[in-house]
Amino acid sequence: MLHLHVTLDGVTPTFLERWWTYQRERFPVLAHGLLILAFSLSAVGYSSLLRGHIAFPSLKVMITGFVSCFLFFLLLRIADEFKDFEEDSKYRPYRPVPRGLVSLRELGVLAVIALVVQLALALWLSPPLILPLVAVWAYLGLMSKEFFAPAWLKARPLMYLWTHMLILPFIDFYATACDWLSAGAAEPSFGLIWFLIMSFFNGIVVEIGRKIRAPEVEEKGVETYSALYGPKRASVMWFAALVVTAVAALFAAQTVHFLLPVLVMVVVLLGLAGMTTAHFWQEQTVTTAKWFKRLSGIWTLLIYLFVGVVPLVWLIYRG
């Protein structure tokens, strides 16, 4: 496919300008980076707490965990670009790839670089990490092929949702393995299960939250949850996912003896989420709809910090 890389004003953007625009529109590095940093540090910190190792993770562990997780999420974005190219070209030609800003070939090269970096980091930190790394790659590969049943999945939105969100516990498991495998443990602690469940449902919170829109901005060919199930039902689904995530987070916090602070935090956030949902029921506007995405991001950041990072820092400084 020919890509001219020409803007509307006739000026050809430079290489850096093209990729800066792409990341701004499709993978905001700063916003995503902060959430992924909280995600990876929480996984490493929680694993350390489960092992009874009350100390800051080594720089080597933190770098491997964060960079690997960042690249996993980048690979998910790239896989979506390939998977959705035909549909985007038909219904969303304004997106960077269909409009020719970057090509699928360039994204493919970027994906290969990401895979090589992840492999190098795993070998650098602890060669046994290759096994969980390959497991994440394998599941990501199945997702990129829609589990070889694209039509069947597309006809079942909730099945599509949970099968695709299952990648998050895989990534989270890998991030925790950066701690326990590099520490020489033969297997993870059983308490990790609550953290993985929390991660799974947190992904559902984010996914539904970013796909709730006001009726007037729904786009043809774009399957948002508000379009599929109606605005009110979609908002209830989002709130229900928050509640389940909160329950898993409380069990995870109890496992590392940090229940009360997490309980206070989730009660406050659930209250805000409840008000957001009620407001959206009354006024289904662009402004009220945007709060689902915003609160999902705030929820994600705080839930990971309070379950895996804050308790570790508290115990370290408490002595």
Mark whether 175 and 307 lie in a shared domain: no
Cβ-based neighbours of 178, under 8 Å, separated by 6 or more: 43, 44, 61, 64, 65, 68, 125, 126, 129
Residue pointed to by tokens 């709130």: 239
pTM over 0.95? The answer is: no
Is residue 285 over pLDDT 80?
Answer: yes
Residue pointed to by tokens 């991001």: 297
Instruction: Establish how many alpha carbons lie within 13 A of residue 50's alpha carbon, considering only the half-sphere containing its beta carbon.
Output: 27
For 50-83, write each residue's pLDDT tens digit.
999 999 999 999 999 999 999 999 999 999 999 9
Identify the pLDDT of residue 12: 80
Residue pointed to by tokens 């602070």: 261
Mark whether 117 and 217 lie in a shared domain: no
Mark whether 26 and 168 lie in a shared domain: yes
Is residue 243 over pLDDT 90?
Answer: yes
For 98-107, write each residue's pLDDT tens digit.
999 999 999 9
Please report whether residue 14 resides in a domain: no
Mark whether 179 and 57 lie in a shared domain: yes
Mark whether 176 and 95 lie in a shared domain: yes
Please report whether residue 294 resides in a domain: yes
Mark whether 202 and 103 lie in a shared domain: no
- pLDDT band at 5; cut points 50, 70, 90: low
Mark whether 174 and 219 lie in a shared domain: no
Cα 224 to Cα 228: distance, rounded to the nearest angstrom: 6
Q: What is the DSSP letter of 43?
A: H
**Mean of the per-residue pLDDT values of the chain:** 94
Question: Can you give the CATH number for the domain in which 23 is found?
Answer: 1.10.357.140
Mark whether 133 and 199 lie in a shared domain: no
For 34-54, write each residue's pLDDT tens digit.
999 999 999 999 999 999 999
Mark whether 263 and 196 lie in a shared domain: yes
Please report whether residue 3 resides in a domain: no
Q: 270 lies in which domain range?
A: 190-319
Please report whether residue 170 resides in a domain: yes
Please report whether residue 205 resides in a domain: yes
Contact (Cβ atoms closer than 8 angstroms) between residue 312 and residue 48: yes
What's the whole-number mean pLDDT along residues 118-132?
A: 97
Number of domains in the chain: 2
Mark whether 83 and 146 lie in a shared domain: yes
Mark whether 232 and 306 lie in a shared domain: yes
Identify the pLDDT of residue 10: 56
Contact (Cβ atoms closer than 8 angstroms) between residue 215 and residue 284: yes
Contact (Cβ atoms closer than 8 angstroms) between residue 301 and residue 35: yes
Please report whether residue 8 resides in a domain: no
Please report whether residue 95 resides in a domain: yes
Mark whether 209 and 100 lie in a shared domain: no
For 212-230, write each residue's pLDDT tens digit.
999 999 988 788 999 999 9
Please report whether residue 12 resides in a domain: no
What's the whole-number mean pLDDT along residues 88-98?
A: 92
Q: What is the DSSP letter of 306?
A: I
Cα 81 to Cα 48: distance, rounded to the nearest angstrom: 36
